[in-house]
C-alpha cells in the first residue's frame, strides 16, 4: 500500500479505505473481507467524479453551451477514459482479485480498472475531503483536455472540405501514415492530401482524431483557422 500511495501522491489516514477501494467483489466473496468489495465506493466515486469534472468544465469553458459541456463530460468519465487513467496509476498491480478473476487477467480489464479508479477517488474523498479528490482528478483531466478538446468543439474536416469544394476539380484524401503504442493507448498519425500534395499532418488517439488534427493544420497553413 505504501508504494501505491506514493504513486497516488496521497497518504491515507485510514488505510482501510484504500484497501476497500482496491478490493474486487470476487476477492471479497472468497475471503469474506470485513470491509467488503469496492462497489459502494465506486457508486460514491462516480458522483464525486461527475461533480469535479462538471465544475471544472463549467468554469474553464464559459463559452460552451450545455450540450457541448455534456458531451465533453461524458467523454471524460466513460469507461474507456477512466481505464486509461487507471493504467497510468498501475491500479491493476494493486487490485485484490478472486482466484478466477486473477487467472482471467481481471486486472487488465477496462471495466474493472475504471470501477477501481472511481472507488479510489471515493476513498480519497472520504479520507481527505473534496480538495485532494479534486487535485487527484484534475491531474488526469487537464492533460487529457489539452490534448484532445479541439476536435470535440469544431469539425475541422468539414471546414476544410467546404474550402476545397470551391474548386470542384480538387480532391481531398486522408492517409494513415503511422500507428504506435499499446492497444489501450494507441497513437495514430494521418496526412491530408490535396490531390497528390500533403497539406497537413496530425496525430491523435484515434484515426478520426488524427484526421481532425491534420485538417486543422491544413486550415492554419492556409491562413483560414487560427
Catalytic residue positions, numbered: 46, 118
Show Cβ contacts of residue 56 under 8 Å, excluding neighbours closer than 6 positions.
Answer: 138, 141, 142
All three cell numbers of 47? 458522483
User: Do the beta carbons of residue 10 and residue 124 sit within 8 Å?
Assistant: yes
- Torsion sign over Cα 113, 118, 119, 123: positive
Angle of the 66-77 helix axis to the 130-148 helix axis, nearest 10: 100
User: Minimal CA–CA distance to 15: which of 30, 39, 35?
Assistant: 35
User: Do the beta carbons of residue 93 and residue 170 sit within 8 Å?
Assistant: no
Amino acid at each position: 500500500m505504501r508504494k501505491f500511495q506514493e504513486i497516488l501522491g496521497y497518504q491515507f489516514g485510514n488505510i482501510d479505505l484504500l484497501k476497500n477501494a482496491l478490493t474486487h467483489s470476487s476477492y471479497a466473496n472468497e475471503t469474506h473481507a470485513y470491509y467488503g468489495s469496492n462497489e459502494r465506493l465506486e457508486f460514491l466515486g462516480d458522483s464525486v467524479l461527475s461533480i469535479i469534472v462538471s465544475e471544472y468544465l463549467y468554469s474553464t469553458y464559459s463559452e460552451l453551451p450545455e450540450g457541448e459541456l455534456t458531451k465533453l463530460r461524458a467523454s471524460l468519465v466513460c469507461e474507456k477514459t477512466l481505464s486509461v487513467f487507471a493504467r497510468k496509476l498501475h491500479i491493476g498491480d494493486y487490485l485484490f482479485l478472486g482466484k478466477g478473476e486473477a487467472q482471467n487477467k481481471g486486472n487488465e480489464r477496462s471495466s474493472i480498472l475504471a470501477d477501481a479508479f472511481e472507488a479510489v477517488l471515493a476513498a480519497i474523498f472520504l479520507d481527505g475531503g473534496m480538495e485532494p479528490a479534486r487535485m487527484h482528478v484534475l491531474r488526469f483531466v487537464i492533460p487529457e483536455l489539452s490534448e484532445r478538446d479541439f476536435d470535440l468543439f469544431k469539425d475541422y474536416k468539414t471546414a476544410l472540405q467546404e474550402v476545397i469544394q470551391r474548386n470542384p476539380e480538387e480532391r481531398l484524401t486522408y492517409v494513415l501514415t503511422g500507428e504506435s503504442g499499446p492497444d489501450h493507448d494507441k497513437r495514430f498519425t494521418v496526412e491530408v492530401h490535396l490531390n497528390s500534395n500533403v497539406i497537413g499532418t496530425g496525430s491523435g488517439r484515434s484515426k478520426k482524431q488524427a484526421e481532425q488534427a491534420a485538417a486543422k493544420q491544413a486550415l492554419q497553413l492556409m491562413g483560414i483557422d487560427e
